Amino acid sequence: MRIYRLGNIEEKEKLLKALGVESTGISIMSKKMELFYFYISNLKTPAVNILKQDALSIGAELAVPSGVITCEKDKFDCILIGNKKQIEILSKKELTQPFGLKQLAKELYVFLESRKFPTQIMGIINANDDSFYAKSRFQADAAIIQIEKMIVDGADIIDIGAVSSRPGSEPANEHIELDHIRPICDVISREKLYEKVKFSIDSYTPSVVEYALKNGFTIINDITGASDKKIIHLAVKYNAKLCIMHMQGKPATMQSSPSYNNVILEIDEFFEERIKKCEALGLRKESIILDTGIGFGKKLAHNIELVKNLRHFERFGCEILLGASMKSMIDDIVSTPIDDRLAGTLAIHLKAIANGADIIRCHDVRSHKQAITIAKHIN
C-alpha cells in the first residue's frame, strides 16, 4: 500500500466521479472537501460562546480570544473554521438562536450559495496619449489593428477608453474624449467586430458611453462606480452590463494617502449600496460586474488584502473583475520598470483567478491566454 497527499482540488465532483463514487455520495463528500474560514467581527459575547459550542459539536471550530469565556468585553471578533457541510449544519442551528446569531446564519447561507462564471480575458486599449503604460496607447487605425490582434490572441472582451485614470491624472474634456473614441466605434460597428468579441467602453461620460453602446459595445466599465445615475439608465436602456469599480477619492488625488479601517468590509459596504442603487433603477444584478479597484486609492497592503480575499465578494452573486496589469503594486514588491512587469502581472492574476476572479483585465492577452489555460489544466 502507498499513500500520497492530494493538493488543491478544484474539480472535486469530477475527481470523485472518476473514482467511481455514486452520485449521492459525490454530493455529500464534495461539501466535505472544501474548507471555509469566516472572520466575524463585533459578535456579542453570549453569541460567541453559543457559536463556539455549536461549532465544536459538529466538528467545526471557532477561534476566539482568551477573554471570551470570562466575558471580559461585550463583543469579540472570532474566526469560524469548517467545511461546507459543517457550515450548512451550523447555519441551521443558529437560525433559532438569539444575540444576533439568526442574522449571522442568514449571512453564512449567502456565502455558501454556489456561483460559477467562466474565466474571461479583457484586453486593454487606451485611445489616448496619457495612460500610464505607453504600450497600451492606440488611436484610430492603430487601435483597430490592435483589436484584431487581441481577437486572434484569445481576448473574450476588449476594453477601450479615451481617458487616462492613472494616479495624478485629470478628467478629460468630453468632446476630446468623444473625438478619440468615435472613429474606433465607427469601425467596430461597420466591420461588425462585435460579432467576434465583446466590447467594453471604459468611460463615465454619458455621451461617450451612449455612442459606444449604439455601435456594438455591451459593457460599461465605470471607474466612478456608477456615481452618475445616467450611466445606470444607459445600461438599462441598451441591455448592457455595468462594471462598478471602487475608488477612494479621484485619480488626481487617490494615491495621496489612502486609508481604511478594514478595506474588505468598506468595499463590501460600497458594493452593497451601489448594487441597491442599480437595482432600484431597473438594472438586474446579473448585469453587474464588481471591480475592487486595485491601485485606485489603495496602498500595497490594501491591494494584497483584496487579491487574497476576493472570494468574500462572491456573496453578491456578480462576476468579479480584477486588473493589476503592469501596476505599481508590482514595483512596490520588486523594483521593476513598467515595461518589465508582465511576470509580476501574471503572478497576481493567476492568484486572483484561484481566489475568485472571473474577468482579468490585462495588456498582454496572448501571455494571459497561455498562462490561464495551463493553470486550468494543472488545477
Q: Give the residue-averaged pLDDT of 296-304.
A: 94
Phi first, then psi, for residue 144 (nearest 5°) are: -65, -40
Q: Give the residue-averaged pLDDT of 293-315.
A: 94
pLDDT at 2 over 60: no
- Residue 1's pLDDT is 41
**CATH of residue 99:** 3.30.70
Q: Which residues contact 105 (CB under 8 A, 6 or more apart)?
A: 90, 91, 92, 93, 94, 95, 97
Per the structure, the count of domains in the chain is 2
Contact at 8 Å (CB) between 197 and 150?
yes
**CATH of residue 245:** 3.20.20.20
Residue 101, domain member (yes or no): yes
Residue 5, domain member (yes or no): no
Instruction: Write down the catalytic residue from 52, 85, 274, 361.
Output: 361
Instruction: Please report which confidence band the pLDDT of residue 141 belongs to, taking 50, 70 and 90 as the band edges.
Output: confident
Q: Give the residue-averaged pLDDT of 186-212.
A: 95
Q: What is the tens place of the pLDDT at every residue in 129-138?
A: 655 555 555 6
- Residue 259's pLDDT is 86
More confident residue, 70 or 3: 70
For residue 119, CA distances in Å to 91, 95, 202 come to 30, 35, 20
Q: Beta strand 157-161 with 198-202: parallel, antiparallel or unpaired? A: parallel
Q: Which residues contact 106 (CB under 8 A, 6 or more apart)?
A: 91, 95
308 catalytic? Reply is: no
CA distance 9 to 7: 6
pLDDT at 3 over 60: no
Same domain flag for 50 and 126: no
Residue 1, domain member (yes or no): no
- Residue 159's pLDDT is 96
Same domain flag for 79 and 155: no
Same domain flag for 96 and 211: no
- Residue 129's pLDDT is 67
Residue 4, domain member (yes or no): no
Q: What is the tens place of the pLDDT at every residue in 227-278?
A: 899 999 999 999 999 999 998 877 767 677 888 999 999 999 999 999 999 9
Same domain flag for 277 and 154: yes
Residue 6, domain member (yes or no): no
CA distance 292 to 340: 24
Domain of 215? Answer: 120-378
Instruction: Write down the catalytic residue from 85, 274, 315, 327.
Output: 327
Same domain flag for 102 and 124: no
Same domain flag for 91 and 32: yes
* Amino acid in position 62: L
Domain boundary among 86, 112, 138: 112
Q: What is the tens place of the pLDDT at every residue in 38-97?
A: 999 899 999 999 999 999 999 999 999 988 888 899 999 999 999 999 999 999 999 999
Domain boundary among 112, 134, 161: 112
- Residue 136's pLDDT is 57
pLDDT at 301 over 60: yes
- Residue 59's pLDDT is 95
pLDDT at 178 over 70: yes
Helix residue spans in 288-358 (DSSP H): 300-308, 328-333, 342-354
- Residue 18's pLDDT is 80
Q: Which residue, among 349, 358, 309, has the nearest Cα to 327 in the 3D structure?
A: 349
More confident residue, 354 or 167: 354
- Residue 48's pLDDT is 95
Same domain flag for 96 and 188: no
Q: What is the tens place of the pLDDT at every residue in 344-356?
A: 999 999 999 999 9
Same domain flag for 187 and 322: yes
More confident residue, 191 or 142: 191
Share of the chain above pLDDT 90, in %: 68
Residue 3, domain member (yes or no): no
Mind giving me the DSSP string for 116-152? Answer: ----EEEEEEE-SS--SSGGGB--HHHHHHHHHHHHH
Cell of 34: 472544501
Same domain flag for 170 and 26: no
Q: Which residues contact 153 (CB under 8 A, 6 or more apart)?
A: 123, 365, 366, 369
- Residue 170's pLDDT is 67
Q: Give the residue-averaged pLDDT of 173-197.
A: 91
CA distance 162 to 129: 9
Same domain flag for 106 and 71: yes
Q: Which residue, among 177, 66, 89, 54, has the nearest Cα to 126 in the 3D structure?
A: 177
Same domain flag for 39 and 127: no
Mind giving me the DSSP string for 157-191? Answer: EEEEESS--STT--PPPHHHHHHHHHHHHHHHHHT
Same domain flag for 309 and 338: yes
Contact at 8 Å (CB) between 327 and 307?
no
192 catalytic? Reply is: no
User: For 286, which DSSP code?
Assistant: G
Domain boundary among 82, 112, 142: 112
Number of Cβ within 10 Å of residue 261's Cβ equals 6
CA distance 284 to 364: 31
Average pLDDT, the chain: 89
Q: Give the residue-averaged pLDDT of 290-310.
A: 95
Residue 321, domain member (yes or no): yes
* Alpha-carbon torsion, ordered 368, 372, 375, 377, to 10 deg: -130
- Residue 71's pLDDT is 86
